[in-house]
Structures are given as structure tokens and as C-alpha cells.
Structure 1
Amino acid sequence: MVGRRPGVGPQAEKREAFARLIARGVSNAEACRIVGINRRTGKRWRHGREVRSSSGRVLHYAPVITKRKREVSPRYLSEEERVRIGDLRRAGLGVRDIARQLGRDPGTISRELRRNADKQSRYRPFAAQRLAAERRARPGRGKLVGDPPLRVFVADRLGKRWSPEQIAQALREAFPGRPERHVVHETIYQAVYRPELGGLHRELPRALRTGRCRRKPHRRSDQRRAGSLTGMTMLDQRPAKAAQRSEAGHWEGDLITGVSNRSAIGTLVDRASRFTILLHLPGRHTAEEVRDALIAAFARLPASLRRSLAWDQGKELALHGEITTALGMPVFFCDKASPWQRP
């Protein structure tokens, strides 16, 4: 029996060197020339590939450089830092010397070399980066998974159409001396919508009062809504004559919408004379449409009748700055959810 010819040995060192060059911005052709590999090999290493073996098994080779890097906290080692650790380690530097050059604690470097080395105790930076990323992405176990009585209690109440808020309160009454079984309603929502973490049945989302199978995303309290107003001047800064109704040219505006917000009409009322102008909005009533309608309506009036405009904080006036610039008329806004401030 004739023995098979041995294949090409592992090229881990060349792959690491190639990946390091690509990460530093070297072109594919130049990196292949420096490392000593064929351009086709470099392309396969860079983008990954699938190979079918003689037995029919498909082998997957991951790319050495990922196209998109996930932003992580600076408290974790970055890919660039791991490359420097690998270079300094090969140069013979010790843990404390490496830590001093990177500005890191020696314990961080020691732990990195210990946790992310391969089976031969060799440190390869890109392999270490993948291992660290996989550990960060691995989700933790939910609180309900490790406590069967707690999971049964929550699932039973959800089946009875209780809300997560009611269940969270009932847990404190049912287990008064077991604070480890006291959870907030957010924990129950996460267990419902992510059963792989919470251990609940996949049909339970339908037991919620909303009946949604997917959770509706919520904005943070400090996150600005798209199209919201900026640079507002509030109504308390409006001239006193406007509040006294003793001078013409101070207007109050509003938007009246129809069924399902599919139609709208704008109204402009002079505070002194009660003269009313209607804004024709035949199509959409976006900020651009309302801006154009307001400029067209007020442009017909003399400057003495364009002293100020009051509006609520509706998004249709998001372009109030352009209205002021075009007409020379300041726009004042009520406080949020307070349209009654325009008496």
C-alpha cells in the first residue's frame, strides 16, 4: 500500500502575519508578497471560504479579518492592543514590560496571555480577539431558569392573563422571606420575549395583554425623537402686547387633522382682530409642507401684520427657523403638552 503524500502543514504563522499587515492597511497584493503566499491564497484568507472534502464534508474557514468591528468599552483590550501584545511577547518582553508599554495593569496582561493562548501555550492575537468576542457575546442565564418554583409561579400567572407588573408585586407577597425570588417586571418581560434565556414557553407572549410576539422597542427618556423641535423660543418670551391683544399681527397657529391623520388643515388666528386664515394642505402635512404653506400665507401680508406666531410643540413646525428667516417673524412655542397656554 502506497502511503499518501503529506499535505501542506499549517500556516498559522503566515496567517497571523498576513492578518496583521491587512489590519495595518497594507494592500492584499503587498501583504501576499511580504508573507510569501499566492494572491489567491491571500484572498481566501481575507474573505473566508468553504471547502468540500473527499468525504463530502464541508469545511468552513473563517476570514482572518472581519469587515465590521463591534465597538467595545475601552476597559477591554482592543484588537490593536492584542497585536502589540503578540509582537512584544515574541520580542521576549515580560508581562510587566508589556503592561508598561500598553498602559495596562500587569494582571490584565497576565490574564490575557493565560486565557487566550492556544493548546500549545502560544499567543495568537487574532485568535485571542475572536475568543474574547465570543465570550462577550455569550448571554447569561436568566433568573427564572435556575429557579423552577419561580418559573412555575410566573408562567401560571401569565396564563391567567396577569400583567408582569402584577406578577412582580405578587412575588413579594408570595415569597416575603425570599428576596432572591423578587424580580422586577422588566425581568418577566425579558423572560417572555426571550424564552431561551428565561425558560418560559414560546407561546407565552400571546398571553400578554398586547398579544405581541415581538417586543416593541422603547426610546430612552433622554433620546430625542426624530423630527422633534430644537432651538425653540418659549411663549413666556412673547411681547406683552400679544398677551394684551392690543396690537395686530400676533398670530396663533394650529394644525387640525382628520381621521387617522390622513388629512389636515392649518389655522392662523390674529389675537387682536380674530381674523382667521386657513392653510390649504392637500397632500401630506409634514414640516416641509407646513413651512411652505405658512410662508405663502404670511407673504401676502405687510410686515406690520407679521409680528409673531405662537404654536404648540407639534413636529409639523420642526422648520420654524426657516419660517423666521423667510418672514422676519419670530415663532414662540407653548410648553410641552400645554396648548392651553395660548388663551
Structure 2
Amino acid sequence: MPRQRVADEVRCWVWLLVADGHTQAGVARRFGLSSTTVRRIAHDPEVEKQVRDTSVSRLTLTGREEISRGIVEGVSNAEIARRIDRHRSTVGREINNNGGRDEYRAVAAHLAAQQRAKRPKLFKFEQFPLLAMVVACWLDLEQWSPEQISARLVLEFPDDETMRVSPETIYRALYVHGRGGLRKELAACLRTQPQHRRARPVTARNRDQSSIPDLVSIAERPDDIEDRLVPGHWEGDLIMGRNNGSQVGTLVERTTGLVMLSKLGTKQADHVADAIAARVRTLPAVLQGTLTWDRGTEMAAHRRFTMATDMKVYFCDPHAPWQRGSNENINGLLRQYLPRDSDLSQFSQEQLDAIAHKLNNRPRKRHSFLTPLEVFDQLVLH
């Protein structure tokens, strides 16, 4: 009689089950093999080598047997780790992932590890089409970042564990795999659209600053503004278009993160003061507190602005953009809609308001992924 041909995976399972104490007859029935074939596999040194030998970065069956003996002896994870030359965290994870000290069995743990190691695996978005659809929708329609999507899923689907995905998984679906339920074209919906993922470059803004008459330093700004406890205090700046030939005024409320944009025909100081003041006067009185600006000469007419709005203006230290951190962050987000190489004068005030509305409906990490409008509703309207 010719020998039965048995797949390598089945051979490993047969060897492991016999080694775990299962009868050869029972194993034979389970896999539809003859008792002779099971006996031959159980005593085949090549199969044993295949089962026991694995990557040096993974636990072997021998290592798991040593863990099992250590548990029976009652020794600590650190002592078991010393015996098998592993970190104690590796031992702890291995035990916790396989039923704890009361339930841990070496062969069962090894079988489970082999099952998890099978490749290829279905990508997460292939396993859960609804998750893929929601993520794709938020990327395409809302332009939310992977981190915002990951956190918002928890808020929107608190009881559905299948609606969970890490930001890294989303990035991998877009950039690494190019498959898995997300179209590669969705990468264009991210705020930046690099062809490949790479470390963020370190940039520094270093421009000459001009003196501003009657300047009031940020050091004199009240402490309650710094603590972001009371809404109504704003940070402002200009973002520039192609060749610095056009500009848009940006305002960010420090407590809620609410964004306002202002169309500007020029960056001449009087014009900027009047345009920003006109936007501020549309706000409720409770939100007309103070304004913090950088040392740019476009706000040299700050006294004109204060007379029109009754809002005091504070100026940051030279070369200290972190003192207006909220505004700097928003200016970066705005580049998704107002690129540096574009003519910003082509955007109408209605278009700028629509862009601000997009950002005001975008979840923010510092608000536990509520949107600025939701926070504004909680703090101001209620």
C-alpha cells in the first residue's frame, strides 16, 4: 500500500496532539488517517523539528513547556523568563493570552499561536465591510484624519467591537497594502497627500519682525486666558497664498477651537484691522474677549481694532509661534483647503465660511473627539 500523503500543517497537528497525550487511534479518526500513518508522523524527527523550530523572535514549543512547568512550580514570571531567556513581559503576555495561570497549557497555546500565524490573513476592512464603508465615507466626505476616525468610531458605535480600527491600520490600507476595502485614491482626502509615508520634516519660521506701536506683550495676558477656562479669547494670524500675493485672516477661539476666516484684499494694517473687527462683531458678546496675535505688522493698527470691538490685543514674543498653538495648528489644517501655491483672493467669503464649517465639525482630540461646534453648544449656548 502506498503511503498516505499528508499536508505539512496536518502533520504538525498530528504530532502536537499525540505529544499532548491524545491516543493515536483518536487522532487517526479525527484526520481520516490510518493508525500507521499517525504512528509514523508521531515518531518522525523531521516533523518534530518542524514543530519545535520557529523564528527566534517567537516562543517555541519547548519554551512554552518551560512556562507550563514554571507555573506548576509556582515560580514568578521573571524567573520563568530567566529560564527561557526572554523578557518577563513576553511571559506575562503569553500566559494572559492563553487563559491565565489556571488554564495555561503548552500544547494548546502553541496550537493557538500557529493558528494566528497563518498567512495570508484577511485584512480588517475585508472582514468588516460596514467598518470599511464608514471609514471611507469619513475620509471622503469629512476629510477627517485616521486618528479622528479611530476615536470617533468609539463614540458613534460604543457597543459594537467590530467597529474599531487603529489609525495605523487605516494608513496601512491606504499606503502599504493598497487593498483591504479602502480605495487607494482615498489617500488624497488626507490633509497632506504624500506618495509615501515619511517622518514629518522639522520646519522653523524665521522672519524679520517689525516694531508695533503701543504693543502689549503676551506676558501681561491674564492667567485665566492661558488656562482656557473661559471662552471668548481668540488667536489670530494671516495665511499667505502663492508668492505671498494674497492672504486670508484666521481666528481660533482658544477654549472651543472654533474657527473663523476672513477674506482680505490686502495685508495693509488698517484694512486687516477693519476686516477682522467686522468678523468679530458678528459674534455673541460673551465671545468678544481678547485677541492674541504674532508680531506681524499687519496688526500694527491694533488700537483701531480695539476701538471697533472693545477687544484688547496681546502680541506674542518674537519667533514664538507656540504661544499661539491653536492658531498654528489650524493654519496647518487649512492648507488642505487653501494650498500655499494657490491664489487665495479667488476664494469668496462664502467659500471661506464653508471651509471654516468643515473644520468646526471635525472631531478634536483635546475635546475627547467632540467637534468645536459641539463644545461651543455645551459651553456657550447652554
TM-score (norm 2): 0.30
Please identify the structure whose Cα radius of gyration is greater: 1
Flag the structure with higher helix content: 2
Larger relative contact order (CA 8 Å, sep ≥ 6)? 2
TM-score (norm 1): 0.33
